[in-house]
Amino acid sequence: MNANEPIGGRWNYDTENRQAWNKNDPTPSALQFDRDQIDLDVIGLVKREFKEHIGQINHFNWATTRQQALEALQYFINYQLIHFGQYQDAMVSGKDYLFHSLLSPYLNCGLLSPKEVCDAAQQAYFDHHVPLNAAEGFIRQILGWREFIRGIYWLKMPTYSDLNELQADRNLPDYFWTAETKILCLREALRNSLENAYAHHIQRLMVIGNFTLLNGISPKQVNDWYLSVYADAFEWVQLPNTHGMVLFADGGLVASKPYAASGNYIHRMSNYCQNCHYNVKTKTEQDSCPFNSLYWNFLAKHRVFFSSNHRMSMMYKQWDKLSQDDQNTILTHANDLQKRIEEL
């Protein structure tokens, strides 16, 4: 802050933080930690006692001590934060981390404090090491969104978890536990989640979450999956994010509109569509991207619910421009996809 005004004259820099990744900005390799005997003993126990469970224990590379967590923070400040802002929404096949900090598990279990993490990012800006959009975007996720989510949980629980305003009741597909799907963006996001106990916020929200939202998957099943899979998933932070932000199950308490999107968003922010089995450019062909017809089906199904939401009006105007025959074809295709969701 500069007195009562934000430094730079703007409260956020989201418009600068929505770029697809440019390979001319190479991603740093993941920080590697030495494993002590306690780590090795626990890894051995997990291999022995939980060998049938999901996940890949051989990929384990999280900090397990305060000192390692501090090293992770410094590594992020030194090598990743500089590009975090512009690429925070980007997705790339085979790039599991890009410029994300991977600090959320340490914040949520107490190895790092939110203040020291925010202070470090702020100081990097003051030292002219990172641009303002990077520092502001990162700090706001912690100081702003994380604290807001904590407030929602303690204000609205325990009844919050029972909300299901969109009456979603379909079962979670089996491939959420295997990542064996022909939808490349979903396969990559699920693989990252299952192998690394991690996926960044856009993978969680706009790929995995978007798919569950559009298909009307049971909030209870989706919440259980998110809580089971991610290393940073403590209920107080996981539940409002998933229940409110991802699924809109709270009817708009957390988010002012549902984060529903067609394949075009994923195409714009990633390279997934280039090698996908499905065609992002079509809606109702046999090989059309499932997100396309499912998106319009979601809007049509819940039109009455969203009729008073002005943020949805433009999407409904686009839908109304389609002929009745085109609308029916899209809805029929979407319904067929949902009937054979396990085959996608």
Average pLDDT value for residue range 305-319: 93
| DSSP 8-state secondary structure symbol assigned to residue 288 | B
Residue 21: pLDDT over 90:
no
| Cα–Cα distances in angstroms (integers) from residue 310 to residues 107, 160, 205, 299, in the given order | 36, 25, 22, 14
Q: Report the Cα 203 to chain-centroid distance in Å.
A: 4
Q: Is 141 exposed, middle or buried (0-12, 13-18, 19+ CB in 10 A)?
A: middle
What pLDDT, on the 0 to 100 scale, is given for residue 9?
A: 75
Q: Which tens digits make up the pLDDT trace of 41-51?
A: 999 999 999 98
Q: Which tens digits make up the pLDDT trace of 25-43?
A: 889 988 999 999 999 999 9
What pLDDT, on the 0 to 100 scale, is given for residue 8?
A: 75
**Of 10-14, 81-85, 126-130, 232-236, which gets the smallest average pLDDT?**
10-14
What pLDDT, on the 0 to 100 scale, is given for residue 22?
A: 86
Q: Report the Cα 233 to chain-centroid distance in Å.
A: 12
DSSP string for 201-247: HHIIIIIIIHHHHHTTB-HHHHHHHHHHH-TT--HHHHHHIIIIIIT
Higher model confidence: residue 301 or residue 15?
301
Instruction: Check: CB of residue 233 under 8 Å from CB of residue 242.
Output: no
Average pLDDT value for residue range 251-270: 95
Q: What is the pTM of this model?
A: 0.93
Of 115, 139, 119, nearest to 127 by C-alpha is: 119
Residue 17: pLDDT over 80:
no
Share of the chain above pLDDT 90, in %: 87
CA distance 88 to 237: 20
Give the pLDDT band of residue 123 (cuts 50, 70, 90). very high
Q: Which tens digits make up the pLDDT trace of 285-298?
A: 999 999 999 999 99
Of 27, 2, 40, 152, nearest to 81 by C-alpha is: 27
**Domains along the chain?**
14-30+62-156 (1.25.40.80), 274-343 (1.10.10.1710)
Average pLDDT value for residue range 219-247: 97
Average pLDDT value for residue range 294-318: 94
What pLDDT, on the 0 to 100 scale, is given for residue 59?
A: 80
Average pLDDT value for residue range 290-309: 96
Instruction: Check: CB of residue 132 under 8 Å from CB of residue 13.
Output: yes
What pLDDT, on the 0 to 100 scale, is given for residue 1?
A: 67
Q: Which tens digits make up the pLDDT trace of 127-161?
A: 999 999 999 999 999 999 999 999 999 999 999 99
Average pLDDT value over all residues in the chain: 94
